[in-house]
Amino acid sequence: MYETVNVVGVGGSSRPGSTAEQALRVVLDAAQQRGASVQLIAGPALAMPLYDPRNGAPTPQARRFLTAVAAADALVIASPAYHGGISGLVKNALDHVEELREDTRPYFSERAVGCVAVAQGWQGAVSTLAALRDVTHALRGWPTPLGAAINTTTSRFSPAGDCKDPHVQRQLEEIAAQVVEFATMRTLATRTESARR
């Protein structure tokens, strides 16, 4: 029997419906089909002032974001490549995760994190995917074995939301499978540990 796990998707750009957001929605839909509950924090919902460690999380957006991350059983992060790396919008949101350093599960610890990068070429897609996986490590998360580097010059999304490139569509669905699987195992392990005490 599977536990219901809560998967939180974070990313996109300031343009609602950006390609990174579409990719995120595909992963979340696939996670939902596997029984997970899902939450999307995308685009404008990520617009927060530049993170300042002296101020913590001063805005409602930042607080909502941190509450969702703290409650997540698994995360998916999707960023466009901006100049070869994570966009400022997404990185600034990730910087705010510093506020979770003293949480019961600090930062992203104990959680699987699926990473998706979107760019207009392979170089930016791959370097941004590597950066997302590095940030996940730095935040003590577990990057899923599979990440997705999406090149929009060869792979587009349909108005219905699925990716027209079946290979990319399958990769995004596999990331969903991996985050749900890890979160389910982790939830069951935590429950077994508590029962033993």
Ligand X SMILES: Cc1cc2nc3c(=O)[nH]c(=O)nc-3n(C[C@H](O)[C@H](O)[C@H](O)COP(=O)(O)O)c2cc1C
Contact by Cβ (8 Å): 100, 106: yes
- Token duo for residue 89: 């919008």
Contact by Cβ (8 Å): 172, 116: yes
In terms of CB distance, is 48 or 119 closer to ligand X?
119
Cβ contacts of 47 within 8 Å, gap of 6 or more:
14, 61, 89
In terms of CB distance, is 118 or 163 closer to ligand X?
118
Pairwise CA distance, residues 175 & 105, whole Å: 22
Question: Is 11 a binder of ligand X (CB under 6 A)?
Answer: no
CB of 94 to ligand X, least distance (A): 17
CB of 114 to ligand X, least distance (A): 17
Question: Is 13 a binder of ligand X (CB under 6 A)?
Answer: yes
Binders of ligand X among residues 92 to 121 (CB under 6 A) are 118-121
In terms of CB distance, is 80 or 114 closer to ligand X?
80
**Number of residues written out for the chain:** 197
Place of tokens 């913590």: 56
- Write out the residues near ligand X by the rule CB under 6 A: 13, 15, 18-19, 80-84, 118-121, 124, 152
